[in-house]
Structure 1
């Protein structure tokens, strides 16, 4: 067994086979479900020859291997005595066991892009007004404001879709539940004298203006709300599932949604909505009370640990709190204090770029710095600062200092907007313009960047990190790939028709950081993957979402269609080749349904990477923005 020792080392350092609930693999990584992740020796695994990196995400302990992961997986299964299963089976088996963080992430992730976009529009509208470029009474202002408010005002409709989908219900039923909550006529019924008042003399005192079948209804304002629709969607999904088991198949199509809505919506207005709203108010007051104990300490804590939260996915727990604060109080200081963290990160990256003599680090630093300016810090974290350790700690210090400044200035966000520099307009108070809080955000951002940059320059990257490091394998030194094929310079052609983007923009850090290989990403506009070279199919995952190729000249290429598409279990993918098959450049390899994949909630952004790039002297990427199959995409030059 070629990988027996590696498998033994991995099993030992994940805490032993008794610490493993399950292990599966996709095209690039082993995906462990561990009983206790604290028992895993992550540093030891990362330093193993044959391991690219380790990623903890979505409740999985992912050991990134590369193209030969099927062989390593087989060895791990044999060594550990585990049951062999597919990644998709494992994902489906655990859908109902998702953690709170995973649930929140699944609900909010699909709409973050639009939420950021509408927030940016609203923020720039506020900026233009503060600078005197627009009048609030102008038509331009009103239309821009309508765009900016569109998603946030009707938030329950969007969250109804994503939440009920996460809970296993029908998305359009979730949208109907959300739309009921923001039905405009109901807001007009609160004028005039109430019929009665419930809970008089308490903090929950509520006037009643209407009844439902004689039961008093407490009308609340659900526009922009978060908690009520999520709880209603959870309840609705349970009701729908029960109805599907009791209603005959012949009438399910219309009777299931009929009774689901008829049961869920009234109960939401009568019980779920009021209780959830009161919970939201109390949650908002509690967070603001904690913040007001010492805004500087709160800012220091959130700013300093924000990047740690991001690594472990804990930041998702703060997102609904922040949105709830925006709904209840019109502003939020919780997310407002993390603004300097990303700038401290890119300050440290710039320091690494100037300090190191290692060419690989210099090459990775430039795109990581650029993406970090716009708030995408995963390439910087996973590709540079976290592996070096000291720059990551320094960036946390910079984020803490920036957060303390934001706390001191009482900086708050007044809308959810863009990341990085696009987040600046979110600190503009629509009622007060350029306040101290706004200037505090600017100062905190600049100081965090300077602290990260200067400390990295002063304290370096750790012993031995400033000098170049070369650790070529015997095969690499001889100019051969892992299969023993002598490497030659060659051109790798585009396998798709579509738009070319940077790997650093991908949401999967193993690809975006360059840990798995160098290359580009393509947003396909046509669901056909053609062979970019002549060679053999070295890997084809059973779900047909990813393929590995070895060219006749030795290049090892991985094409991974979409992000996390292994979870589709082969749906929407059709392969026209098999593993080990000989292929010619331009040959159709895989067909896939773009609309179906995106409709299921997955991105089709596809990395095309050269996994043995370190065995070449140089790798050049074409600068064209749109390509078609057969266009020059990547050129590798042999040593």
Structure 2
């Protein structure tokens, strides 16, 4: 069944270098995340200027196409058209990998493991938050069956996180997913968890950050486990799956095909499971201990300074996808301490970002900009700020800087209040619920969070509202210092037709509405004569006569396409009055077309006038007049 995103999906696939250039494809809340064999084959400028795409980012070894909140729908269509099957991780594991810096590889791994679960992770956190409110207000008690059943799904997801990450990490590393699940199940198996509450046989590294208890042995080798066992843990299962993926590949090379189906997973688990408990688990616990110690030390040194830094730079980290590097720290703190303080100053950032966009929305007189602001504000209110960042504040620079400064102030307040977050997930306004301690209904963190968010939002809104100014428009042309400094030259194309104007983005044909073929404007003609829009040289006349190309004396490449799907008429109704290589002057008749005959064939007369080499210029500005006559200004080229 055709989708409204078919055209956009085809443009994306074509301009990331085609199906054959895609190693893998995933998505997060707002972005399509490609891994490409050769990023130089991607047409970044075309994608950035395509309607429906907010921007394009390259970070962590990924080619990220920012779509917005409806990215799951676009992702599904891209997978269907591209034949990616909705999951190309196997292709990724088998494809030759380009060398990545350690930091880029780490971010890529973390994002690949956590992205698939992010939506449900937030959902379970939100359910926990709702339950916290209901118990805080005495609507429910923790003994009620309603509470316990709902808490089972909310807390169960977090408790069995090793099982879930066993699956997603397997997809990332190319391991049989069910082998990864089996390793996760072993970590949270009740009798294994019970070991951590039993008798301690030995204490290693007593008094240090690496203090560990030995509860059992495997072939007389001590099994070191954390005091709370492995439920809700992150690092052990990820490292275990990585090791198992290497073990599995070894067995696949050795074992005959006829018995691979059952013997490979058998031998993989026989090696990987003991390795997990004897070596990988203890190593992972040591890594977690170091990370936890360092983050807590940074926080303890100066909660206000740490809060100001996290608040100020959180949105910058989001832009480059580097915020994924802090996610495991946050989850580890939740599982080991029962709360997290280190990352929480970020909470003010999304509200500061939303506030500056709200200020822009109230100040701007640009209808198109206002229409972009409204969904961005709604999205930001619920914690998803990429549409606000990429669509409004970052391109305009000053609002983005203001939001970072305001978030830094809010983050410092949150740090000063020693705010603790007790539950995972839940973004934006729903995130307030996660600062209630479900163990004792302690809500002492919420006033500090509210203060940080309120002050950050007020500072951001007031500063942006007082300083924001629209780019002044005059006769359809944007006038700004950047356009006039250094004697900046402009070209003006006049209308080649008489009729009503239509913005490209309002056209049904995706090839034109996306901007892939060029920037400009369309005209619904009232008479069947096409005039030259400028002094130019004719460079192309299609054999069917329905389209003509020319280059102006100032280097603008013009494409005029008469009607939609008129190529199927095979020239019927079109009469060119010039030839390729000819010079034409502005206002000269260059083609006639039979409007009645074209419409009888079921074709639209809507005619785009495009600048195909738009990337060679600072800006392409179409007229804002609803109707034009031949010879009136149509497009200004800066």
- With the shorter chain as reference, the TM-score category is 0.5 to 0.7
The correspondence of residues 361-372 of structure 1 with structure 2, limited to 5 A, is 361-372=369-380
Structure 1 residue 359, shift from structure 2 partner: 2.2
Query: Is it true that 1:316 corresponds to 2:318 in the alignment?
Result: no
Using the size of structure 1 for normalisation, the TM-score is 0.63
Q: Which residue of 2 aligns with 1:259?
A: 267
For residues 625 and 18 of structure 2, the distance between their equivalents in structure 1, rounded to whole angstroms, comes to 30
Assess if the C-alpha contact under 8 Å between 1:357 and 1:468 holds in 2: no
Q: Which moved more, 1:255-264 or 1:92-101?
A: 92-101
The correspondence of residues 314-393 of structure 1 with structure 2, limited to 5 A, is 314-393=322-401
When residues 199 and 388 of structure 1 are mapped into structure 2, their CA distance, relative to the original with a 3 A threshold, is: closer
Query: Is it true that 1:450 corresponds to 2:452 in the alignment?
Result: no
Q: Which residue of 1 aligns with 2:160?
A: 154
Give the alignment partner of residue 25 of structure 1, picking from 1, 9, 17.
17
Q: Which residue of 2 aligns with 1:103?
A: 109
When residues 143 and 362 of structure 1 are mapped into structure 2, their CA distance, relative to the original with a 3 A threshold, is: same
Structure 1 residue 93, shift from structure 2 partner: 3.5
When residues 52 and 102 of structure 1 are mapped into structure 2, their CA distance, relative to the original with a 3 A threshold, is: closer
Assess if the C-alpha contact under 8 Å between 1:302 and 1:337 holds in 2: yes
Q: Which residue of 2 aligns with 1:183?
A: 189
How big is each residue's C-alpha offset from its partner over 1:537-581, in whole Å with a ceiling of 9 and x where there is no partner? Answer: xxxxxxxxxxxxx995489xxxxxxxxxxxxxxxxxxxxxxxxxx
Q: Secondary structure at the match of 2:445?
A: helix
For residues 63 and 152 of structure 1, the distance between their equivalents in structure 2, rounded to whole angstroms, comes to 30
How big is each residue's C-alpha offset from its partner over 1:356-394, in whole Å with a ceiling of 9 and x where there is no partner? Answer: 222221111111111111111111111111010000101
Assess if the C-alpha contact under 8 Å between 1:489 and 1:553 holds in 2: no
Q: Secondary structure at the match of 2:310?
A: helix
Structure 1 residue 282, shift from structure 2 partner: 2.6
How big is each residue's C-alpha offset from its partner over 1:296-320, in whole Å with a ceiling of 9 and x where there is no partner? Answer: 1111111111110000111011111
The RMSD of aligned alpha carbons is 4.4
Q: Which residue of 1 aligns with 2:131?
A: 125
- Higher CA-based Rg: 2
Q: Which residue of 2 aligns with 1:55?
A: 57
When residues 143 and 246 of structure 1 are mapped into structure 2, their CA distance, relative to the original with a 3 A threshold, is: same
Structure 1 residue 192, shift from structure 2 partner: 5.0
How big is each residue's C-alpha offset from its partner over 1:263-286, in whole Å with a ceiling of 9 and x where there is no partner? Answer: 001011011112211321231122
How big is each residue's C-alpha offset from its partner over 1:452-489, in whole Å with a ceiling of 9 and x where there is no partner? Answer: 11101111147x369896469978955799xxx99999
Q: Secondary structure at the match of 2:418?
A: coil
Name segments (4+ residues, structure 1) moved above 3 Å: 26-35, 45-48, 51-54, 60-64, 88-98, 189-209, 464-481, 485-494, 550-555, 612-618
For residues 440 and 122 of structure 1, the distance between their equivalents in structure 2, rounded to whole angstroms, comes to 20
How big is each residue's C-alpha offset from its partner over 1:157-195, in whole Å with a ceiling of 9 and x where there is no partner? Answer: 111111122112111111111110100012223455444
Q: Which moved more, 1:91-100 or 1:390-399?
A: 91-100
User: Number of residues paired by the alignment?
Assistant: 458
Structure 1 residue 231, shift from structure 2 partner: 0.7
Query: Is it true that 1:296 corresponds to 2:322 in the alignment?
Result: no
Q: Which residue of 1 aligns with 2:419?
A: 411
Using the size of structure 2 for normalisation, the TM-score is 0.63
Q: Which residue of 2 aligns with 1:170?
A: 176
* Unmatched 5+ stretches in structure 2: 1-14, 20-31, 67-90, 479-489, 522-545, 547-560, 567-600, 604-619, 627-638
When residues 370 and 584 of structure 1 are mapped into structure 2, their CA distance, relative to the original with a 3 A threshold, is: farther
When residues 259 and 415 of structure 1 are mapped into structure 2, their CA distance, relative to the original with a 3 A threshold, is: same
Give the alignment partner of residue 438 of structure 1, picking from 420, 442, 446.
446
When residues 204 and 216 of structure 1 are mapped into structure 2, their CA distance, relative to the original with a 3 A threshold, is: same
Q: Which residue of 1 aligns with 2:276?
A: 268
Q: Which moved more, 1:444-453 or 1:321-330?
A: 444-453
